[in-house]
Amino acid sequence: MSADVSTAPVAPPLSRGRRWRAAWRRPETRWAYLFLLPWILGFLIFTAGPMLASLVLSFTDYDVINPASYVGGENYQRMVEDPQVRTALFNTLLYTVIHVPLSIAIALALAVLLNQIGGRFAGFFRTVFYMPAMTPTVAVGVLFLLLLNGQNGLVNAALGLFGVDGPAWTTDPAWVRWGIIIMSLWTIGGTIVILFAALKNVPMDLYEAARIDGAGAWRQFREVTVPMISGSLFFVTIVNTIASLQMFTEVYTMFYGNAQSQLQASDSALFYVIYLFRQGFQFLEMGYASALAWGLFVIVLIVTLVQVKLGDRFVYYEGDDR
Amino acid sequence: MRRPMVLPAIMAGAATLTLTACGGVGGGDDSDGGGDSQSGDLSADPSGSITTIGFALPDEIATVRVDTFREMYPDVEVNINEGGFDEQQFLTSVSSGDPTELVYIPGDQVGAFAARGAIQPLDECIEQRDIDLGQYRPNVLDLVQYDDSTYAIPEFYNTPVLIVNNTVLAQAGLSAADIDISDQESLLAAAQALTVRNGSTYERIGIHLRLPDLTPFYGVVDGNPWVAAADDFRLDDPATVATMERLKAVQDAQGGHTALKDFENTWDLFGEGNPFAQNQVGAMVIEQWYVNVLANTSPDVDITVLPITNADGDTVTWATSNAWAIPKDADNAATSCEFMKIMTAPDTWAAAAEERIRLREAEGKAFTGIYTANEAADDKVFGELYTPGTGENQKWDDAVQSVLEAQADAWVVPANPVGAQFKAAWLEATNRILAGTQDAPSALAEAQDKVEQALADVG
């Protein structure tokens, strides 16, 4: 006996509109949207609205006080020709290129160390490594002005123990960028926590199998650990890259936050978002500042797309068909 | 396991963080710039409440004056939002149409805010509330008058003087007469003789010119003020270049600007461990308020205060001030007008001075004056309240007389629509020149271009 499946009636696929209406008739769908409503309203009012406003303002001459007047693409043309935009972009990209791999490498090393620690000290060390990330960013800026002082800062005092005469990290333009990179390592606690959690999820039997196959510690790390946590590495790379491209608070506090700190600002401390902020609120060029904001958005978008494309090659997702 | 939806989430996050930075300000109304005229009865009795931003209450000079207003008008609620002037806070409040009643702003920014209509002209307020502008120093009024209107009421009158550390000079076999700011040769010699370094670590700066803070002042000393009029900036003038090159030479003679700045950042400028008490400086050019700080924190320090002279031996100085203004669309202008009047009136300044005298006498310290933009107030303080110090306090009296001599005729940057851009331009140029990353002619030419571009943008 055989069933004649070839003649069984097949319902035609529902159109998208009919599918949506069918779903809407279900109470749980309506409840879901009701619970989502506060977020949707918040997004429309506080995110999408300002974004659209800044897009419109980027085509205007707007000084915050008086009505905006349409100037077409002038602000974007000015952005391309502005030498300080190039300076700010160079500083920001250089910082990103150095900070992101450096911070992830250090965070990964510390996460691996934390993963080795067991017993009652484990929680203590996890807390200690995460605590700096809890420091308010303004406080970090002020703190590092003291730590990095070339005359009596702790960083140079530490270098002095090894016979190194440390530079003027906060006042010498040749060293300001490096001082900022040192400061940025203070807040890698979040990255450590994410990578530590990823390390905890690596199945122990993979290490056991690798050991049976004769793999040493380095080989196990390279062939087992890194692939298994590549999803987390990919995530922290993207998030840290975006945060680095938008670096603002600490550097602004150190070099631009008040009349006194502005006195030691050098071109080396001019980051993109700081330049954007000064144009908007100090020089009353909000139209230009809006164009700068969209310029950064496009840069972030391109960098992220490139990272995602590269991620397709290197990131392993458990259960993926590749 | 499916791949997480990372990209959309990240794009949304990136867009949010980047773009909302400039999108939340809101639109302006139909003002045509240049400020709204004040309306309503500005001579009405003060009432309701007023709130200020940009002003703080750090000492009795501030608190006594606010208290004086409160005692005169007990029904008015005065809210002082303590803190320094914050452009973002001020501009967003104006843009929202709901600003505070009063704002306390740096004098060099009055012109820019006036030109864009962010603050109101005060002519009617001054007329209806009988504020006697004749009492105020004419040069400080240049800071706050723009396009034939007065936009702010100035408070203090800050002018640089030379403070010499006699202890340090005696150790080096020098005297105050050996330090002449206008004479490069003697300045370099004194700076080198007084500076003490141990390798790259400083023990003392010889002559601290307070750069870049006071850079424009040295243009005045050299007979070349950097601004001739509201639309006439001279940053690329050969004389300006020459001034910057000689300032760099002085910094270099003492080990270089960046190292000096680093050492300066370690100072406890306002405390008992100040650089004069610690002999960390041989001589310093600084505004006159620092004499008051030293008289309070280090009454025993051995200093001489001198006015600064140009090459002809004439006293020269540069004045700055902060000022009260009424933001565009602010409510309760009548009460705000009265508050500005009371805060800067001779009797109010005198009351503040009396309180300081009482406090200083209680601690056995000298009263070294308060220096205001209201000349009638200064006449009252120094004519009726000030008692010249004698004995150990003779040096403080000498200091006061030097300050008063220095203040006689000060140059100010005329109110102009690009104050912030001008300051940013000369600060950036100065830092590049002094750090040696750019030569003076090209740095100053770039600075001049920026200011002229900003002027053109403002129209």
List of domains in chain A: 16-75 (no CATH), 79-314 (1.10.3720.10)
* Residues of B in Cβ contact (< 8 Å) with A61: 457
pLDDT tens-digit profile, chain A (322 residues):
444 545 556 667 778 888 888 888 888 999 999 999 999 999 999 999 999 999 999 999 999 888 999 999 999 999 999 999 999 999 999 999 999 999 999 999 999 999 988 777 888 888 999 999 899 999 999 999 999 999 999 999 999 999 999 999 999 999 999 999 999 999 899 999 999 999 999 999 999 999 999 999 999 999 999 999 999 999 999 999 999 999 999 999 999 877 777 777 788 999 999 999 999 988 889 999 999 999 999 999 999 999 999 888 888 876 665 5
β-bridge pairing A69-70 and B149-150: unpaired
Probe site for chain A from B262, B328, B426 (most A CB atoms < 10 A): B262
| Interface membership of A68 toward B (CB under 8 Å) | yes
Instruction: Say how far apart CA B105 and CA B119 lie, in whole Å.
Output: 10
CATH for B160-318+398-458 is 3.40.190.10
| Interface membership of A151 toward B (CB under 8 Å) | yes
Surface-to-core class of residue B233, CB atoms within 10 Å of its CB (0-12 exposed, 13-18 middle, 19+ buried):
buried
Alpha-carbon distance values, B167 to B164, B201, B382 (Å): 9, 21, 29
**Six-digit token pair at B165?**
């550390």
Where in chain B do CATH 3.40.190.10 domains reside? 33-157+321-354, 160-318+398-458
Q: Please say whether the beta carbons of B32 and A66 come within 8 A.
A: yes
* Residues of A in Cβ contact (< 8 Å) with B23: 49-54, 57, 290, 293
Task: State which amino acid sits at residue A78.
Answer: R
**Six-digit token pair at A255?**
């070099």
| Interface membership of A221 toward B (CB under 8 Å) | no
CA distance A287 to chain B (A): 9
Instruction: Say how far apart CA B108 and CA B105 lie, in whole Å.
Output: 8
* Residues of A in Cβ contact (< 8 Å) with B118: 64-65
* Residues of B in Cβ contact (< 8 Å) with A235: 6
Topology annotation, domain B33-157+321-354: D-Maltodextrin-Binding Protein; domain 2 (3.40.190)
In what helix (H) or strand (E) does residue B410 lie, and over which residues does it extend? strand B410-411
3-state helix, strand, coil in chain B (%, to 5): 45, 15, 35
Q: Is the dihedral of CA A244, A265, B103, B61 positive or negative?
A: positive
- The answer for A 276-305 residues in CB contact with B (under 8 A) is 276-278, 280-286, 289-290, 292-294, 296-297, 300-301, 304
Q: Residue A320 and residue B3: Cβ atoms within 8 Å? A: yes
**Six-digit token pair at A225?**
């650990």
* Residues of B in Cβ contact (< 8 Å) with A231: 4
Q: Residue B258 and residue A165: Cβ atoms within 8 Å? A: no
In what helix (H) or strand (E) does residue A4 lie, and over which residues does it extend? none
Alpha-carbon distance values, B349 to B64, B162, B343, B382, B409 (Å): 9, 26, 8, 11, 21
Q: Residue B18 and residue A293: Cβ atoms within 8 Å? A: yes
pLDDT digits (tens, 9 = 90+) for A280-303: 988 889 999 999 999 999 999 999
ipTM: 0.80
Find, among A131, A113, A252, the residue nearest to A186 by Cα: A131
CA distance B239 to chain A (A): 23
- Nearest beta carbon to residue B20 from set A47, A151, A284: A47
Q: Residue B262 and residue A53: Cβ atoms within 8 Å? A: no
Instruction: Say how far apart CA A108 and CA B197 lie, in whole Å.
Output: 43
In what helix (H) or strand (E) does residue B287 lie, and over which residues does it extend? strand B281-287
**CA angle, residues A22, A24, A27, in degrees to nearest 5:** 115
pLDDT band for position B40 (cuts 50, 70, 90):
low
